[in-house]
């Protein structure tokens, strides 16, 4: 154990069964934390847990808890189950999210609400569930996996952009409220990343434009000055750093992991 490890801490990762969430869980396990994976698909969660279990540090616990993060009762039940197995949550990673594209004029109220429910309300509900134990302990880490869409605008994803901008605003407001509590609140904002969301975007471009899959992927990668897609492990490294004890001065930040696509300062 090192002074900067997460040994003895309990980290809960939403959307932890695949993609960025699974990469974050893997990274936090390597830091010595106990980890709870939360998501809607039980089979996906259990498969991820089986793959991650060999990484468990001595005394750490790995748990998979199904939940719909947009539903308050489901979130409450998930946190109760997680805490019963691994103790109070001291690290929360709000990673679960969905993206769906549509021109603004064809964005239905149902689509608008779904993007807000999953991307913003889910972050709100999970944070409310985790924060009391963190403030009582005088230590906590909340990291919201937002998007470069929370920092700039993208066409044809207005609902998603609005939700992710909301996540950034929530991050900043809560960081101010918790600034003297020992709890930090930050956001990590990936650019186009090698995940199911990007694979769906590629399929949508192919379907709507007739371009090849390679051309569609190149179009998305071209937004990144490095001309590539970000890898989930790169996002996970940024999240893990923000979760460490040594990152106590980092709060209220929205850090782009996007190869220079978005530069803040």
**3-class secondary structure, 8:** coil
C-alpha distances in angstroms, 66 versus 13, 15, 30, 193?
12, 10, 23, 24
**Same domain (yes/no): 64, 137:** yes
**Residue 5 counted as domain residue:** no
**Residue 160 counted as domain residue:** no
**Same domain (yes/no): 169, 69:** yes
**Residues tagged active-site:** 160
**Residue 104 counted as domain residue:** no
Q: What residues are paired with 74 via a beta bridge?
A: none
**Same domain (yes/no): 174, 206:** no
* Of 42-56, 82-96, 186-200, minimum mean pLDDT range: 186-200
For the residues 178-185, what does the mean pLDDT come to?
98
Its domain, for residue 27, covers 10-98+119-150+165-190+230-257
Q: What percent of the chain has pLDDT over 70?
A: 99
The region, left, alpha or beta by phi > 0 then psi within -120 to 50, assigned to residue 167 is alpha
**Residue 114 counted as domain residue:** no
For the residues 149-170, what does the mean pLDDT come to?
96
**Same domain (yes/no): 223, 244:** no
* H or E element, residue 38: strand 34-39
Number of domains in the chain: 2
CB atoms within 10 A of CB 104: 11
Would you give the DSSP letter of residue 57?
A: P
| Confidence label for 265 from pLDDT (cuts 50, 70 and 90) | low
**Same domain (yes/no): 133, 81:** yes
Q: What residues are paired with 39 via a beta bridge?
A: 66
| Confidence label for 1 from pLDDT (cuts 50, 70 and 90) | very low
| Confidence label for 2 from pLDDT (cuts 50, 70 and 90) | low
Question: Per-residue pLDDT for 260 more than 50?
Answer: yes
**Residue 107 counted as domain residue:** no
| Confidence label for 205 from pLDDT (cuts 50, 70 and 90) | confident
**Residue 159 counted as domain residue:** no
| Res 203: pLDDT | 80
Q: What is the pLDDT of residues 206-258, one digit of tens each?
A: 787 888 888 888 888 888 899 898 999 999 999 999 999 999 999 999 999 99
Q: Give CA–CA dist 70/96, Å, rounded.
A: 10
Q: Give CA–CA dist 11/88, Å, rounded.
A: 9
**Same domain (yes/no): 205, 251:** no
Choose between 38 and 218: higher pLDDT: 38
Report whether 111 contacts 159 (CB < 8 A): yes
């Amino acid at each position: 154990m090192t002074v900067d490890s997460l040994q003895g801490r309990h980290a809960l990762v939403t959307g932890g069964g695949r993609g960025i969430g699974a990469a974050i869980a893997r990274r936090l396990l390597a830091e010595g934390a106990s980890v709870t994976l939360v998501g809607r698909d039980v089979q996906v969660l259990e498969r991820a847990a089986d793959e991650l279990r060999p990484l468990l540090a001595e005394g750490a616990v790995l748990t998979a808890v199904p939940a719909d993060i947009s539903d308050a009762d489901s979130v409450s039940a998930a946190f109760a189950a997680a805490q019963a197995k691994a103790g109070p949550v001291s690290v929360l990673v709000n990673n679960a999210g969905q993206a769906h594209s549509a021109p603004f004029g064809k964005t239905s109220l149902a689509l608008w609400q779904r993007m807000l429910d999953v991307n913003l309300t889910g972050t709100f509900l999970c944070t409310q569930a985790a924060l009391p134990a963190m403030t009582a302990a005088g230590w906590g880490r909340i990291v919201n996996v937002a998007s470069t869409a929370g920092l700039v605008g993208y066409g044809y994803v207005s609902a998603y952009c609005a939700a992710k901008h909301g996540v950034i605003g929530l991050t900043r407001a809560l960081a101010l409220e918790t600034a003297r509590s020992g709890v930090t609140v930050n956001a990590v904002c990936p650019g186009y990343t090698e995940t199911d969301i990007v694979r769906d975007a590629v399929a949508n471009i192919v379907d709507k434009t007739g371009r090849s899959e390679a051309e569609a992927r190149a179009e998305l990668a071209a937004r990144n000055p490095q001309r590539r897609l970000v890898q989930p492990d790169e996002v996970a490294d940024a999240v893990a750093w923000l979760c460490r004890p040594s990152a106590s001065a980092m709060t209220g930040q929205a850090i782009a992991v996007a190869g220079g696509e978005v530069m803040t300062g």
